[in-house]
Amino acid sequence: LLADPKIDLVDICLPTDQHEDVVMEALAAGKHVLVEKPIAIDIDSANRMVAAARKANRMLMVAQVLPFFPEFRWVREAVTSGKYGALRAAAFRRVIAEPSWSADMSDFRKLGGWGIDLHIHDNHFIGLLCGTPKAVFSRGLLMEGLVNHVSTQYLFDDPNLTVSCISGGIAAAGLKFGHSFELFLEKATIQFDAGTYGDSWVVNRPLTLITSDGQVTNPTPGGGTEWCAAFTDELQTAVDGVASGKEPRILSGQLALDALRICLAEAESIAKEQPVSL
């Protein structure tokens, strides 16, 4: 595969601890790369991959799929368009019960803890939406030095922007997964809340737009109806990036690296009980 000159892009869907070796081989063979999230659990490994991509003049894209899910894509477009004014505050939540359906998933050490494997979705999305914070102040639960649950306040240069997130793997077994957001803009508040309760997908609050004129609506976020639609959109974005010669920011290796840096800073903040600069 790596020797085939007709192949421009390699999609790497291996366990995280196998990412670096295969990414390096693909880049050395002159291929662009899309690798599954997280880019790594070790910052040195992530730095080596990003540096190797720059040296090879090839794209290293990381499949942080969350921005391709309809509600998250819609809210990102609502914020970046400026239609509802500047973002003032945002709160995110992403939780799971300890998984019992996979031996690999149950070994949190291989995943970097839930503070990386799960929560990196939030840090990536926050970075995409707001930029990288200058510091984080986190409280939470560590297990063998890895984050099992975290509550973070992100500190930005803009003193008028407040962003927070709760994430972790300590939910009761009946709450297999839950995520939500609430964003406060100058002219609107936007909410969404859903999860898997028991064996049922439950939407507690569909995508809801509350505007300053008092109107409350439920926008249709669009996107495909198949379960894999966000993943196929992500793959198409990577293909389009290679075809155009321009790396999509939404899949940027540097953005994924910065998200990992935030995760590690959160663990340090919990351990030291103080804010940690990035």
Domain boundaries, the chain: 66-224+253-277
Q: Is the bond preceding residue 221 a cis peptide, omega within 30 degrees? A: no
Residue 218 is encoded by which pair of tokens?
A: 């439920």
233 close to 226: Cβ distance less than 8 angstroms:
no
The CA distance from 203 to 201, in Å, is 7
**CA 63, chain centre distance (Å):** 9
According to the model, what pLDDT value does residue 224 have? 86
Q: How sure is the predictor about 136, in pLDDT bands with cuts at 50, 70 and 90?
A: very high
Between β-strands 60-63 and 162-171, what pairing exists: parallel, antiparallel or unpaired? unpaired
**pLDDT at 103 > cutoff 80:** no
According to the model, what pLDDT value does residue 106 have? 56
In this prediction, residues 14-40 reach a mean pLDDT of 97
In this prediction, residues 28-51 reach a mean pLDDT of 98
According to the model, what pLDDT value does residue 134 have? 98
User: Which residues are registered as beta bridge partners of 150?
Assistant: 140, 167
**How many Cβ atoms are within 10 Å of 224's Cβ, its own excluded?**
13
Is the domain spanning 66-224+253-277 CATH 3.40.50.2000? The answer is no
Residue 267 is encoded by which pair of tokens?
A: 């663990």
**How many Cβ atoms are within 10 Å of 157's Cβ, its own excluded?**
8
